[in-house]
Amino acid sequence: MSSYVVSGAGDTEVRLFNLSRLSGRGLNDGAITLSAQYQCHTRRVKELAVEVGNPNVVWSASEDGTLRQHDFREGTSCPPAGSSHQECRNVFVRLTLHDMDFPFLHLFVIDYIADVVM
């Protein structure tokens, strides 16, 4: 997965790009291919984090108050935001703040090794 780049921005989408086909070509040659596109969020994507030890899973946090899990081995699993399709299955946390217009969700990844007593 080291030849992939994941992005999230103000257009509410999380995208996975494959850079492995760039060998010998420049960045402006249109050689970067979109491998997956997730249209799950309804507001800006603010944070992305790769799961520790599993580069196929990325977490995205958005101003819509959701924390979502994207597993690139499963392909895209979300209908476009605002569509009449069934709710996305990848919602891990949903914060509903009725008193705020812009709930912010920050994603913190903590890597630790648990002590095992035998």
Q: How far apart are CA 75 and CA 37, in angstroms?
A: 9
Fill in the DSSP letter of residue 7: E
Q: How far apart are CA 97 and CA 99, in angstroms?
A: 6
How many other C-beta atoms lie within 10 A of the C-beta of residue 79?
A: 14
From the first residue on, what is the mean pLDDT of each consecutive set of 10 residues in the chain (118 residues)? 84 88 61 83 91 89 88 72 57 60 52 44
- The pairing of strands 45-50 and 33-38 is unpaired
Kindly calculate the radius of gyration of the chain based on its CA atoms and give it in whole angstroms. 16
- Secondary structure class of 29 (helix, strand, coil): helix
Q: How far apart are CA 49 and CA 110, in angstroms?
A: 11
pTM of the complete model beyond 0.75: no
Q: How far apart are CA 112 and CA 50, in angstroms?
A: 15
pLDDT (0 to 100) of residue 12: 92
Q: How far apart are CA 77 and CA 73, in angstroms?
A: 11
pLDDT (0 to 100) of residue 2: 72
